[in-house]
A and B are shown apart, each in its own frame.
Chain A
Amino acid sequence: MSSDLHVVGQSVDRSDGIGHVTGRTRYFADRSFPGMLHLKMVRSPLHHARITGIDLADAERVPGFVRALTSRDVPHNLYTILGLIGVEPEEEYVLAEDRVRFKGEAIVAVVAESEAAALEAVSKVRLDLEELPAVFDVEEALRPGAPIVTSWGNNTFMYEGHPCRRVRLGDVEAAFGRADHIVEGVYNTSPIEQAPVETTGCIAVPEANGRYTVYTNTQALYFSLDNTAIILQVPGKQLRFVGGTVGGGFGGKVDVIVEPIATLAAMKTNRPVRYAYSRSEEMQVSSTRSAWRIYVKDGVSRDGHIIARKVTSYADSGAYSRQTPYALTKHAANAAGPYAIPNVSIDAYCVYTNRQPSSAMRGFGVTMASFALEVQMDKIAERVGVDPWTIRFINAYRNGDMKPHRKRAEDATLIETMQAAAVLVGHELPDDLIAMTSSPRDASPSGGGA
Chain B
Amino acid sequence: MTVKAYRLPRSLPEALGLLEEHGPELLVMAGGTVAMPLINEGISLPEAVMGLRLAGLDGLERTGDRLRIGATATLTQLLNQDAVPMLREAARNTASWSIRNMGTVGGNLFTPPPGGDVAVALLALDASVTLASTRGDRVLPLADFLTGFMRNELAEDELLVEIGVPIRSEATAYLKLGRKHANTPAVVTVAVRLEWRRERVADARIALGAVGPHAIRAREAEALLIGTTLEAEAIAAAADAATQGCEPFTDGISTEWYRRRMVGLFVRRALEQLTPGTREGGR
Contact = CB atoms under 8 A, between A and B. Distances in A.
Contacts of A280: 41
Contacts of B42: 119-120, 123
B41 A278 contact: yes
B1 A116 contact: yes
B63 interface: no
Nearest to B40: A278
B185 to A, nearest CB: 15
Nearest to B2: A120
Contacts of B41: 278, 280
Nearest to B3: A116
Question: Interface size class for chain A?
Answer: under 10
A118 B2 CA distance: 11
Contacts of A120: 2, 42, 45
A26 B1 CA distance: 26
Interface in A100-158: 116, 119-120, 123
Contacts of B1: 116
A193 to B, nearest CB: 12
A123 B41 CA distance: 12
Interface centre among B2, B41, B42, B45 (most CB of A within 10 A): B42
A119 B40 CA distance: 10
Interface string A264-283: 00000000000000101000
Interface in B1-19: 1-2
A197 to B, nearest CB: 15
A434 B78 CA distance: 59
The prevalent SS among residues of A at the interface is: helix
A439 B42 CA distance: 62
Nearest to B1: A116
A278 B42 CA distance: 11
Nearest to A123: B42
Nearest to A119: B42
Nearest to A118: B42
Contacts of B2: 116, 120
A413 B43 CA distance: 54
A280 B2 CA distance: 20
Contacts of A278: 41
Contacts of A119: 42
B4 to A, nearest CB: 12
A255 to B, nearest CB: 23
B255 to A, nearest CB: 14
B229 to A, nearest CB: 45
Interface in B21-66: 41-42, 45
Interface in A75-116: 116
Nearest to A116: B1
B199 to A, nearest CB: 49
B254 to A, nearest CB: 15
A123 B44 CA distance: 12
A116 B41 CA distance: 10
A116 B42 CA distance: 9
Interface in A241-282: 278, 280
A61 to B, nearest CB: 14
A116 B40 CA distance: 9
Contacts of A116: 1-2
B65 to A, nearest CB: 46
A448 to B, nearest CB: 44
A119 B41 CA distance: 9
A280 B45 CA distance: 17
Interface in B163-188: none
Nearest to A114: B1
A357 B10 CA distance: 51
A403 B42 CA distance: 54
Contacts of A123: 42, 45
A119 B2 CA distance: 10
Interface in A182-222: none
Contacts of B45: 120, 123
A123 B45 CA distance: 11
A116 B45 CA distance: 11
A120 B2 CA distance: 8
A280 B252 CA distance: 13
A120 B1 CA distance: 8
B19 to A, nearest CB: 26
Nearest to B37: A279
A350 to B, nearest CB: 28
A280 B43 CA distance: 12
A119 B1 CA distance: 8
A401 B42 CA distance: 59
A244 B247 CA distance: 50
A26 B9 CA distance: 39
A95 to B, nearest CB: 21
A123 B2 CA distance: 12
A278 B45 CA distance: 17
Interface string B98-110: 0000000000000
B6 to A, nearest CB: 14
Interface of B: 1-2, 41-42, 45
Given A123-B42, A280-B41, 8 more contacts: A116-B1, A116-B2, A119-B42, A120-B2, A120-B42, A120-B45, A123-B45, A278-B41
User: 8 closest Cβ contacts across the A-B interface?
Assistant: A119-B42, A116-B1, A120-B2, A280-B41, A123-B42, A278-B41, A116-B2, A123-B45
Interface of A: 116, 119-120, 123, 278, 280
10 contacts: A116-B1, A116-B2, A119-B42, A120-B2, A120-B42, A120-B45, A123-B42, A123-B45, A278-B41, A280-B41
